[in-house]
Amino acid sequence: MSSATLIEGTAVTAVLDHLRAAVDEVLELDLSTASRDDLLELCRGLETQRRRLPAAEHRLIAELDERGVPGELTMRDSATLLARLLRLNPAEARARAAAAQELGPRRAVTGERLEPLFPAVAAAQAAGDISSAHARVITAAIEALPTNVEFEFGRKLEADLVEHSRQNDPATVDRQFRRMLEQLDPDGTEPSDREHQRQRGLHLRTKADGSGEIRGRLTPMAAATWTAILDALSKPAPSDEGVPDERTAGQRRHDALLDAGQRLLRSDSLPDAGGAPVTVLVRVNAEDLAAGRGFAETDHGDLISTQEVRRNTGDAQVLFTLLDVTGGIMSFGRMRRLATVPQRRALTIRDGGCSFPGCTAPASWCETHHIVPWACGGTTDITNLTLLCGYHHREFERRGWECLMIDNVPHWRPPSWIDPDRTPRRNTAQHTELWFNPAVGDSSQ
């Protein structure tokens, strides 16, 4: 055995010994004597190191592949090797091997080192800024891009998704990607509309006992319309005795559907107009609406093409709120304590839901909050109001957060234990336009 091999083997043993000792030290900590801030710091630190370990594994798997170790051991590929060596289930082994191919180091045919296929994701994971789940969402998103979109915007989109993964969970990043893609590839909207129209359908099957089953597929406009109806009619009913509504959410929606049908029958308008019109709140850019391109967004976050919105305005009352370049809206304030119905609608369009960073609660779950308290002279104006879910309305002040208006849009200043600089931040989970804008410079710089 050569001295070089001995040195390399000794180095590997030393690294593993250090890693084992560090883990042992953490396991032996007396957490009962630690302060709250120490516990939080330990939680963050452990998560950061946990996120970095896959980056080390990517290098290791890449090296095994480059040396042909799986073939030497009569294994079909590195995924098979990992499954056998580490006793992993095959799906997890394949996922690790695929991640190594995307995020690990590479070599060209001529032998020089190449950067990973997704360099921004690899760097963020090596730094512990994002998790493996974030990385999977981002790489899948980039791979789903049409070829022309990926060629023009792929690197910037990757950098922007990485940046916003630092503030949002993987599910939120995954949920927002489809909307970002619609901004980049608006030419894909019309085929999507045709597919919605082709697949639409509703079936009501009545059973022998008189009960029924509903199944079907609604177009985006139909879904938004019935969401508005059921949302208004399925709220928990108050009780004079103080007993909470014991119906499940599904039971409340069933009763709401029954109530809506009975109201429609009582309207005596079915033969002529098909019932009373419904109000659907949508947020849309003025230029897009005029040109019939792009998408409008409902207060529940659903996307409806502007063409479909314009086609259906004769059948339903669609309330448009047109946004300017900063996302601000005109004042609808009134000199009163409670927000008016027009103000609530305006807040819904501007905030999208709870304005607290990272919260995805829709507007229908939210309360209006006076940024400058009413008791301290704050007015009931749009510029002094924002939407908050019940939890954040109760808890934000006690937990050290502060709300302030910047350019007529609510921002939140975190406590110093989260951000020593207390830099104001906005809830990006509710606003796709804050995630990616092709006209703005690369956010990674």
Q: How much is the average pLDDT of 308-321?
A: 48
Indicate the range of 190-204, 269-283, 383-397 predicted with least confidence. Answer: 269-283
What does the angle CA 115 – CA 119 – CA 123 come to, to the nearest 5 degrees?
Answer: 110
Judge contact between 281 and 299, C-beta under 8 A.
Answer: yes
Q: Smallest Cα–Cα separation from 86: which of 55, 117, 61?
A: 61
> What CA–CA distance (Å, rounded) separates 229 from 231?
6
φ, ψ of residue 84 in degrees (nearest 5):
-75, -45
Strand 366-370 with 385-389, pairing: antiparallel
How many domains does one find in the chain? 3
* Residue 17 belongs to some domain of the structure: no
> What CA–CA distance (Å, rounded) separates 37 from 42?
9
Indicate the range of 252-266, 320-334, 383-397 predicted with least confidence. Answer: 320-334
Q: How much is the average pLDDT of 159-174?
A: 89
Judge contact between 327 and 431, C-beta under 8 A.
Answer: yes
pLDDT for 278 beyond 60: no
Cα distances (angstroms) measured from residue 412 to each of 291, 304, 375, 406: 35, 30, 21, 10
Q: What is the pLDDT of residues 187-223, one digit of tens each?
A: 554 556 777 787 888 888 877 666 788 989 888 888 8
Q: In the prediction, which pLDDT does 404 show?
A: 93
Query: What percent of the chain stands above pLDDT 90?
Result: 29
Q: Which residue has the higher pLDDT, 98 or 396?
A: 98
Q: In the prediction, which pLDDT does 69 show?
A: 93
Query: Which residues 6+ apart lie within 8 Å of 346 measured at CB?
Result: 321, 329, 330, 332, 382
Residue whose tokens read 């709401």: 256
164 and 60 both lie in a single domain: yes
293 and 353 both lie in a single domain: no
Indicate the range of 125-139, 352-366, 415-429 predicted with least confidence. Answer: 352-366
* Residue 215 belongs to some domain of the structure: no
Q: In the prediction, which pLDDT does 411 show?
A: 93
* Residue 101 belongs to some domain of the structure: yes
DSSP character at residue 365: G
Residue range(s) defining the domain that contains residue 291: 222-237+246-323
309 and 413 both lie in a single domain: no
Q: Smallest Cα–Cα separation from 312: which of 234, 376, 228, 254?
A: 228
63 and 140 both lie in a single domain: yes
> What CA–CA distance (Å, rounded) separates 223 from 204?
17
Would the pTM count as exceeding 0.75?
A: no
Distance of CA 213 to the CA centre of its chain: 32
Query: What percent of the chain stands above pLDDT 70?
Result: 73
Q: Which residue has the higher pLDDT, 155 or 326?
A: 155
Q: In the prediction, which pLDDT does 181 show?
A: 73
Residue 369: count of CB within 10 angstroms of its CB: 21
> What CA–CA distance (Å, rounded) separates 193 from 219?
8
Distance of CA 271 to the CA centre of its chain: 43
Q: Which helix (H) or strand (E) holds 203?
A: strand 201-206
* Residue 29 belongs to some domain of the structure: no
Residue 202: count of CB within 10 angstroms of its CB: 10
User: Binning pLDDT at 50, 70 and 90, where does residue 132 land?
Assistant: very high
Indicate the range of 210-224, 298-312, 356-370, 401-415 predicted with least confidence. Answer: 298-312
Strand 279-285 with 317-323, pairing: parallel
User: Binning pLDDT at 50, 70 and 90, where does residue 22 land?
Assistant: very high
User: Binning pLDDT at 50, 70 and 90, where does residue 327 land?
Assistant: low
- For residue 439, the SS3 value is coil
User: Binning pLDDT at 50, 70 and 90, where does residue 272 land?
Assistant: very low
Q: Where a domain ends, among 293, 323, 353?
A: 323
| Bridge partners (DSSP) listed for residue 195 | none
Query: Which residues 6+ apart lie within 8 Å of 266 measured at CB?
Result: none
* Residue 2 belongs to some domain of the structure: no
71 and 149 both lie in a single domain: yes
Indicate the range of 210-219, 307-316, 394-403 predicted with least confidence. Answer: 307-316
Q: In the prediction, which pLDDT does 397 show?
A: 82
302 and 379 both lie in a single domain: no
82 and 143 both lie in a single domain: yes
Q: Where a domain ends, among 323, 358, 392?
A: 323
* Residue 200 belongs to some domain of the structure: no
Q: Which residue has the higher pLDDT, 149 or 439?
A: 149
281 and 358 both lie in a single domain: no
* Residue 71 belongs to some domain of the structure: yes
Query: Could you tell me how many helices (H) and strands (E) the chain has, helices first?
Result: 16, 12
| Bridge partners (DSSP) listed for residue 403 | 412
254 and 153 both lie in a single domain: no
Q: What is the pLDDT of residues 33-52, one digit of tens each?
A: 999 999 999 999 999 999 99
Judge contact between 351 and 405, C-beta under 8 A.
Answer: no
Q: Which residue has the higher pLDDT, 288 or 398?
A: 398
SS3 content of the chain, % helix, strand, coil (to 5): 50, 15, 35
Q: In the prediction, which pLDDT does 20 show?
A: 93
Q: In the prediction, which pLDDT does 386 show?
A: 92
User: Binning pLDDT at 50, 70 and 90, where does residue 396 land?
Assistant: confident
61 and 179 both lie in a single domain: yes
| Bridge partners (DSSP) listed for residue 281 | 319
Q: In the prediction, which pLDDT does 5 show?
A: 43
Residue at 40: amino acid letter = L
Q: How much is the average pLDDT of 267-294?
A: 57
Judge contact between 257 and 293, C-beta under 8 A.
Answer: no
> What CA–CA distance (Å, rounded) separates 358 from 431?
11
> What CA–CA distance (Å, rounded) separates 139 from 158?
8
Q: Which residue has the higher pLDDT, 305 or 122?
A: 122
Judge contact between 125 and 52, C-beta under 8 A.
Answer: yes
User: Binning pLDDT at 50, 70 and 90, where does residue 405 land?
Assistant: very high
* Residue 205 belongs to some domain of the structure: no
64 and 163 both lie in a single domain: yes
pLDDT for 86 beyond 90: yes
pLDDT for 376 beyond 70: no
302 and 348 both lie in a single domain: no
Share the mean pLDDT of the chain: 78
C-alpha dihedral sign at 309, 314, 315, 318: positive
